[in-house]
Amino acid sequence: MRYVIGITGSIACGKSFVSKTLNDMGYPVIDTDLISHNLTADNTKVNDDLASYFPEAVSNGFLNRKKLGQIIFNDAKRRSKLNEILHPLIFKETKEAIDKNDGIIFVDVPLMFEAHFDVLCDKIICVYTEKSSQLDRLMKRDNISASEALKKIESQMPIEEKIKKSDFILKSEEDFTDTKKNIMDILAKIKEEYYAKTTRNV
């Protein structure tokens, strides 16, 4: 039996740490950011499509991800076009990856609800952190100013809305040990639900 758990949250909230922790424990984790990265590797057909709409970010089949990021975070219409090109392809590969697995599977999707990946999941975990921590992490990670970090955060669905749509809420703490405890608490509930379902299906 397959039990698909989505992992989402706002940018720089700690999703990657949650996914890595679960993967280190032996659970399959499908990373849609990695799928997107592979789709836009050098000299792919996808890059040819992107070049038609983002010529300043693609040169000779090579995608300048930093330049593309600057474009889409400053232009909602072009961001929507990028999503229109990439999301169906990412969705298809994610579905194929899910179908190759069994048991409890985790799927890390930053734009879970915006891109409607929630239809692939049985339950969804929303990872969040304090706004001040999120800003600090994003500024350090991307080497950007506070105003640029805020613009990136505000380009996504508000975290409050994601929390309302999710089944489990996981706080990413400053102390990794505390975050791991929060992960284990939610994992225990997921395993309990999974085993209850498998028992009913016997």
pLDDT tens for residues 16-31?
Answer: 999 999 999 999 999 9
pLDDT tens for residues 78-111?
Answer: 999 999 999 999 999 999 999 999 999 999 999 9
pLDDT tens for residues 33-64?
Answer: 999 999 999 878 899 999 999 999 999 889 99
For residue 87, the SS3 value is helix
* Tokens 């608490």 belong to residue: 185
What region does 83 belong to: left with phi over 0, alpha with psi -120 to 50, or beta? Answer: alpha
Tell me the domains of the chain and their CATH numbers: 1-28+103-197 (3.40.50.300), 35-100 (no CATH)
pLDDT tens for residues 165-201?
Answer: 999 999 999 899 999 999 999 999 999 999 998 987 7
Q: What is the Cα 168 distance to its own chain's centre?
A: 15
For the chain, first and last CA: distance in Å? 10
Question: Hey, what amino acid is at 171?
Answer: K
- Which long-range CB contacts under 8 A does 91-96 form with residues at least 24 apart? 91/115, 91/117, 91/120, 93/35, 93/39, 94/30, 94/32, 94/35, 94/120, 95/120
Closest CA to 67 of 54, 78, 80: 54
Widest pairwise Cα distance in the chain: 57
Whole-prediction pTM: 0.94
